Structure 1
Amino acid sequence: MRLPNLFQTRNGRFAAFFLLYVTEGIPLGFAATAVATQLRRQGVGPAEIGAFIGLFYLPWAFKWAFGPIVDVFAIERLGRRRGWILGTQIVMVATLFATSFLKLPEQLWLFSAILLVHNTFSATQDVAIDALAINTLDEQERATASGVMFAGASIGQMIGGSGALLVTSWFGFQSSFYFVSAAILLVTLFVVLPMKEAATPPRVRAAGSAMAAAGREMREFAVTAFKSFMGTRGAFVGLFMSLLPPGAMCLGLALQSNLAVELGMDDGAVATMNFWSTLIGAAGCLSGGLIADRFDRRHALTWYILLMSIPVFVMALVLQHFNWIMPIAPDAAKPDVPTLLMTAFWATTLVYAFFNGMMYSATTAIFMDVTNPVVAGTQFTAYMAMFNLAISYSATWQGISIEAWGYPGTMIVDGFYGMLYLLVLPLTRKRPGDVAADNALAPGRARKLGLVLALLCLAWLPVHALESQFGAAKDIVNILFTLVFIASALFLLAGAALLGAVAGRLTRIGAWFSPLLLLMQVRNYQDGLAAKLGVSTQSLGATLDIFLYGVPLLAAVLLWQMSRHAWADLAMPSTTEGEAGDTALPDAKLAAAS
């Protein structure tokens, strides 16, 4: 029997993209809920689980880099996008199947590495699916398709989280790997294989190799994105805002899974909680979006973030009241769990899920507001990628904090840290007046950003010298400076592309120097590196200190020198936020589903 090509009809296209997004949600739900729960049950600490979840989200923070690769490299016979989707799903199934043979928690490092590969291909699939949707959907279908894809991702997370936990409770943890692999494979067999991608004109390539074409395209992406970020005040503020968690995050990440295990919930109970919180969160997305469209969305988002904090603070107080402070090992004797404590955990988790959904819909709408319609897909995807990075580092620092400060302290800090979002939110509002005048301020914004990054690189010097005094907070500080070094490297690359001949030797040095800033991550692996080299940690540390002090110091000098230039090319005469009506907005809405 020949399977139907779903792309032939309007409803078929909606069904196809719904199911494709289900396959994107499955890995996230499986890692954040099912695997995190089992790791905690097997004695893995909150810090390790937080790092595992943070690592799993990391490819989504850098998925923008996969776009030029997906665009340039393709097997036309399979379909420019369909070939990528088919290939990535096969690798996703293969990597999940491979992890089923590993023994946890002894082989957690290999398990994490394989799942990182799995999620990298999942993020690549997301890029290909978005590109396919833009080329396939009619303009009047895109907004509806965006909502359908959101629903698909939520259902996928339920399948990977609640579904896998239910299967675990019936047949054991090993069976959950086969369950999620089969779920993805069914979509591959019944949706992707019979799919017939619409024919597109042959791609006209510039002279040179495909690799060179990909490099040029990535460079053009970086230049366009950087100009868009600097172009208006809203876009510039959005750059920093996207790196902040919009409200408290802890009841939606690994802290919830850790606490569920310690409160004595079995896999069936955790699965039931995940099922209801996902459904309630989806309802929050719908209602939050409707309210934000009818009223001022910045005021609406302010209320959503404040309301998100209430269940977090309430649960922190309840835990403090019952003296449930520090994490308890799964094999340790557990005190009796008061009924009120368990009831409070259920209630706060479900209430939080609703307000978290409301927050997400309003946040994405505001990022659309500050996006330049000319490069809507590019800029909006970058905002969403950085938002995923905020989720990644939130999961990581919370795992560390739980072991250092306990559950209530972590939740209080998370609640107030999430409110920092409200300090920058008003600055995203479009200012009355001439848009071109706002755009003319772009060079000044670039100079300020370069100066701030230079000062932060200098701040690393005393921080590194005194790091032994930070105690448990050392790893959290390291996370923050990792963001600084990555941002500094990207700024140097942008300077090399935009300043060019104007800055001469400075830009060439900056372009070659930027990879050294990325190599600053070596500071987190000194012990393992020393063991592999057969030297003591102390002797290796003394050698590395030359690198760890020298690179940020030289980066600060380069950034400061770049901040002194005019950046005249940034004052581009292009359409900016709101000027082009809705011409590119559907693409931005579509990107929101990512």
Structure 2
Amino acid sequence: MSTLVQPGATTGHPTPPAADGRLRTLTALYVTQFLGFGFITIGLTGILRAGGTSLETLALLNLIGLIWPVKFLWAPVVDRYGPRRGGHYRSWLLVLQSGMVLTLLALLAVDPATGRIGPIVLICAMFVFLSATQDIAADALAVRLLRRRDRGAGNGIQVAASYVGNILGGGACVVVYDRFGWAAAVGLLAGLTAVGLLVVWRFREPDRVARPAGTRQAYGALLSVLRQPGCRSWVLGVVPLLYSGAGAAYGMVSPALVDAGWPLQRIGFVTGVVTSVPAVIAGLVAGGLVNRIGRTGVLLVGGASLAAATTLLLPMLTGRAPTGFTTVALCCFMAAYTVANVALYTVNMDYSRPASGGTDFTVLSSFGLICSYLAAALGLAVAARAGYPPVAAVAIVFMLAGVVMGLRHQRRHPPVPAAG
């Protein structure tokens, strides 16, 4: 899930919309983007499990999420190709948002009660591909539209939006399904997603100043983004440490809760819906704090809080998981992770260039996702031999090391407007 850089200041081109209008547009895009994703990863998983679907099949459904970390492979295409009239990224968003709505409506023909899981997985894979591509275009638009002072708020909205998607897609739509059935739940999901389409239709994107000259140059941005001062140490140092620590810690949550005797339904509801509420609040607050205490301050608060919150998970990791305390601990962990994520995304946007904003931001954010996935897998492998607590201890060390390196990086490389 992505964010922001100073638009190229060139005379003779339309002035970008007011800050409030930009943020409203991005809010609609990011929330509707994550509605379907939250439904697939949380709501649909619960619905299928209640219908008797095996855990192996559900694991296959969750593997669809791996499309997101590799979306950098086609991000240069989004940056390079598009009409000059009507808005380069707006045109992409109109097509992609329409495709997301139509794909969700296609789910009406495959009620899970029939037991036909294969078509559901294929349709969901198509939706995730479209939403991942939409994220590229939305991030690129954010890079163009958001000035430096707006990046914190924009990234806070983006991070919070993913959790709003969990609440609505993973929670509200499941309640509708339970009361009114599959068609009502899918219809609500498609209708909410269509709101983003209306917002994009009304939006007027400023003329694009520059774009990569050709496909080779567009794909060259995948590596050239790392040549900016300080970018390599950020992406190869700070980002892996923080995301690996968070990924290793959170990867143990569900297995540890199962080991502690929690039923699957409670695990899904708490980790997917309940913890999303404080995460939404934390994302919006952190976005507002970026201008007040700076990227360094938000990174310090988020990273240190994340390490502290991980210690609150230790009782759960040792088999003692009372519902109340464990839920509070998980809420603290997700809120802290959200704050840290806002800081990381904001610096990623600082390094994103207007001419290749989709590619740059996607590369920088995807690397963190890949590190998180790998750390979660490796952490569970180590936990199988050494237990959960040692993995948590290493995760905390990674988090704190990431904070220290991040503070040093920001002192040496303060944010500057990205080159176009």
TM-score under structure 1 normalisation? 0.56
Contact conserved, 2:28 with 2:195, CA < 8 A, in 1? no
- 1:88 alignment partner, one of 79, 96, 108: 96
* Structure 1 segment 321-400 matched on structure 2, within 5 A: 341-364=322-345, 379-393=360-374
Contact conserved, 1:22 with 1:157, CA < 8 A, in 2? no
Relative to structure 1, the CA distance from residue 102 to residue 396 in structure 2 (aligned partners, 3 Å threshold; closer, same or farther) is farther
| Paired position in structure 1 for 2:392 | 415
Q: Per-residue CA shift, 1:202-236, capped at 9, x if unaligned?
A: x7885xxxxxx223320x21341353599754554
| Paired position in structure 1 for 2:224 | 224
Relative to structure 1, the CA distance from residue 287 to residue 277 in structure 2 (aligned partners, 3 Å threshold; closer, same or farther) is same
Q: Is 1:52 paired with 2:61?
A: yes
Identical counterparts, % of pairs: 18
SS at match of 1:62: helix
| Paired position in structure 2 for 1:65 | 73
Q: Per-residue CA shift, 1:536-581, capped at 9, x if unaligned?
A: xxxxxxxxxxxxxxxxxxxxxxxxxxxxxxxxxxxxxxxxx33xx5
State the alpha-carbon separation in 1 of the partners of residues 409 and 158 from structure 2: 33
| Paired position in structure 1 for 2:13 | none
Report how far residue 124 of structure 1 moved: 1.1
SS at match of 1:249: helix
SS at match of 1:224: helix
Report how far residue 145 of structure 1 moved: 3.4
Q: Per-residue CA shift, 1:101-150, capped at 9, x if unaligned?
A: 33649544443333222111111111212222333455654444333444
SS at match of 1:199: coil
Q: CA RMSD in A?
A: 4.4
| Paired position in structure 1 for 2:283 | 285
SS at match of 2:244: coil
SS at match of 1:350: helix
- 2:418 alignment partner, one of 584, 587, 591: 584
| Paired position in structure 2 for 1:249 | 250
Letter in 1 for 2:337: N
Relative to structure 1, the CA distance from residue 302 to residue 146 in structure 2 (aligned partners, 3 Å threshold; closer, same or farther) is closer
| Paired position in structure 2 for 1:36 | 45
Q: Per-residue CA shift, 1:350-405, capped at 9, x if unaligned?
A: 33333333333344467679x5989995555423112222444567678x87xx96
Contact conserved, 1:25 with 1:153, CA < 8 A, in 2? yes
Relative to structure 1, the CA distance from residue 137 to residue 355 in structure 2 (aligned partners, 3 Å threshold; closer, same or farther) is closer
Q: Per-residue CA shift, 1:522-541, capped at 9, x if unaligned?
A: xxxxxxxxxxxxxxxxxxxx
- 2:206 alignment partner, one of 195, 198, 204: 198
| Paired position in structure 2 for 1:147 | 156
| Paired position in structure 1 for 2:304 | 303
Q: Is 1:121 paired with 2:120?
A: no
Q: Per-residue CA shift, 1:31-86, capped at 9, x if unaligned?
A: 22212222333444556534532x23322212323332112222445431111101
State the alpha-carbon separation in 2 of the partners of residues 310 and 244 from structure 1: 16
Letter in 2 for 1:281: A
Letter in 1 for 2:392: G
Contact conserved, 2:258 with 2:264, CA < 8 A, in 1? no
Report how far residue 271 of structure 1 moved: 5.4
Letter in 1 for 2:364: Y
| Paired position in structure 1 for 2:9 | none
State the alpha-carbon separation in 2 of the partners of residues 391 and 30 from structure 1: 22
Report how far residue 430 of structure 1 moved: 3.6
Q: Is 1:26 paired with 2:7?
A: no
TM-score under structure 2 normalisation? 0.75
Relative to structure 1, the CA distance from residue 229 to residue 300 in structure 2 (aligned partners, 3 Å threshold; closer, same or farther) is same
Contact conserved, 2:90 with 2:200, CA < 8 A, in 1? yes
Letter in 2 for 1:361: V
State the alpha-carbon separation in 1 of the partners of residues 409 and 374 from structure 2: 32
State the alpha-carbon separation in 2 of the partners of residues 314 and 130 from structure 1: 39
SS at match of 1:81: helix
Relative to structure 1, the CA distance from residue 26 to residue 256 in structure 2 (aligned partners, 3 Å threshold; closer, same or farther) is farther
Contact conserved, 1:168 with 1:176, CA < 8 A, in 2? yes
State the alpha-carbon separation in 1 of the partners of residues 20 and 45 from structure 2: 36
| Paired position in structure 2 for 1:180 | 189
The more displaced of 164-173 and 356-365 is 356-365
State the alpha-carbon separation in 2 of the partners of residues 345 and 283 from structure 1: 19
Q: Per-residue CA shift, 1:416-469, capped at 9, x if unaligned?
A: 453352475244554899x8xxxxxxxxxxxxxxxxxxxxxxxxxxxxxxxxxx
SS at match of 1:418: helix
Contact conserved, 2:79 with 2:211, CA < 8 A, in 1? no
Report how far residue 88 of structure 1 moved: 0.6
State the alpha-carbon separation in 2 of the partners of residues 161 and 33 from structure 1: 5
Extract unaligned runs of 5+ from structure 2: 1-15
The higher relative CO (CA closer than 8 Å, separation ≥ 6) is in 2
Q: Which has the larger radius of gyration?
A: 1
SS at match of 2:173: helix
Contact conserved, 2:79 with 2:212, CA < 8 A, in 1? no
Contact conserved, 1:162 with 1:272, CA < 8 A, in 2? no
Contact conserved, 2:241 with 2:399, CA < 8 A, in 1? no
The more displaced of 164-173 and 377-386 is 377-386
Relative to structure 1, the CA distance from residue 34 to residue 229 in structure 2 (aligned partners, 3 Å threshold; closer, same or farther) is farther
State the alpha-carbon separation in 2 of the partners of residues 272 and 43 from structure 1: 21
State the alpha-carbon separation in 2 of the partners of residues 204 and 265 from structure 1: 48
* Structure 1 segment 546-565 matched on structure 2, within 5 A: none
State the alpha-carbon separation in 1 of the partners of residues 67 and 125 from structure 2: 8
Letter in 2 for 1:421: F
Extract unaligned runs of 5+ from structure 1: 1-6, 207-212, 322-339, 436-576, 588-594
| Paired position in structure 1 for 2:139 | 130
Q: Per-residue CA shift, 1:275-316, capped at 9, x if unaligned?
A: 442221133335567497497666545532322323322223
Letter in 2 for 1:224: S
